[in-house]
Amino acid sequence: MKAPILITGGAQRIGLAMAKYFIEQDVPVIITYRTKHDAVQALEAQGVKCLQIDFDQPDARDSLVTQVKAHTTQLRAVIHNASSWDCEKLNPDHDALFDNMMRIHAKVPYLLNLALAPLLEASNEVADIIHITDYVAEKGSPKHIAYAASKAALDNLSRSFAAKYAPQIKVNSIAPSLIIFNDDDDADYRAKTLKKSLMGIEPGCQEVISTIELLLNSSYITGRTLAVDGGRHLK
Ligand SMILES: NC(=O)C1=CN([C@@H]2O[C@H](COP(=O)(O)OP(=O)(O)OC[C@H]3O[C@@H](n4cnc5c(N)ncnc54)[C@H](OP(=O)(O)O)[C@@H]3O)[C@@H](O)[C@H]2O)C=CC1
Ligand SMILES: Nc1nc2c(c(=O)[nH]1)N=C([C@H](O)[C@@H](O)CO)CN2
């Protein structure tokens, strides 16, 4: 029996695409979800262990670790995908915004990596931790200041945990720019965003999945950040 992959925020969009991909590859999957999207029922029918976890709740991390340990004795990978793309304009309580961004993007991955390491080390092959960050971790973002800073913190965790857990566990970041739009993104925003990269496309979830597979299949890449950004840094 293969060891499962844990994906946080797996009930919609990129996280859901990851879960569906690994199910198709006959890899056991555990997801966390906050909102019970329609997809959760379908995932459960396909054998995915779906855990309702709101990381803003104080007992969330302990509850997740307890439930994961009750479900499996080993993990093949943990993919920290759950995220809140909040901004200063929509959240005038900047004190709370900063704490919320740091919690979901840095504190939760930090504490889960420490708590779940024994399960990853029990894997019968080299295991992986993958942090899904963002291009703006490198560049910053005047409209998503706290978000970008929290993603930069998450990116830095890759280097510390890579050094701490090698050689049994590899730890890397994937730093996407535009992957998929949100349904409420209007035509003007879409056109403006597409122009920000050299490739000028909305690549879709498979772009991230292919990068995850590259990391899972590598025996050597660790402590690194793989940019998936269409050459945005050169525009
Ligand atoms: N989409 C894109 O183009 C890009 C995405 N990224 C990164 O890729 C990853 C996936 O992106 P995308 O699929 O768009 O992500 P989403 O914005 O769809 O968020 C993914 C999930 O995270 C969950 N989540 C948010 N806050 C919490 C919380 N406090 N507790 C538990 N779950 C929570 C959400 O739950 P709920 O459904 O309840 O809201 C949601 O289902 C993210 O890390 C994102 O930052 C980076 C650059 C571009
Ligand atoms: N949690 C999320 N993070 C990000 C999202 C998103 O929808 N959810 N979207 C983006 C944008 O696509 C941006 O990369 C381009 O405008 C960034 N992060």
147 is catalytic: yes
Which ligand is closest to the CA of 179, given by its number? Answer: 1
Question: Over 90: is that where the pLDDT of 1 sits?
Answer: no
35 lines ligand 2 (CB under 6 A): no
Element housing 5 (H / E): strand 5-7
- Ligand 2 atom having least distance to the Cα of 177: 14
pLDDT-derived band at 37 (thresholds 50, 70, 90) equals very high
pLDDT in tens, 116-155: 999 999 999 999 999 999 999 999 999 999 999 999 999 9
Mean pLDDT confidence for 85-114: 98
Which ranges of the chain does DSSP label H, i.e. alpha helix? 13-24, 39-45, 60-71, 94-102, 108-121, 136-139, 145-165, 187-194, 206-217
CATH assignment of the domain containing 162: 3.40.50.720
> Which structural domain, as residue segments, surrounds residue 175?
5-234
Which of 147, 165, 189, 220 is catalytic? The answer is: 147
Is the complex ipTM higher than 0.90? yes
For 191-200, how does the pLDDT look when each residue is reduced to its tens digit (9 = 90+)? 999 999 999 9
* pTM for this entry: 0.99
If you measure from the C-alpha of residue 84 to the centroid of ligand 2, how many angstroms do you get, rounded to a whole number? 9
Report percent pLDDT > 70 for the chain. Answer: 100
CB-ligand 2 contact for 193 (6 Å cutoff): yes
Ligand 1 pocket test, candidate residues 6, 35, 57, 84, most atoms within 8 A of CB: 84
Look at the chain and report how many structural domains it folds into. Answer: 1
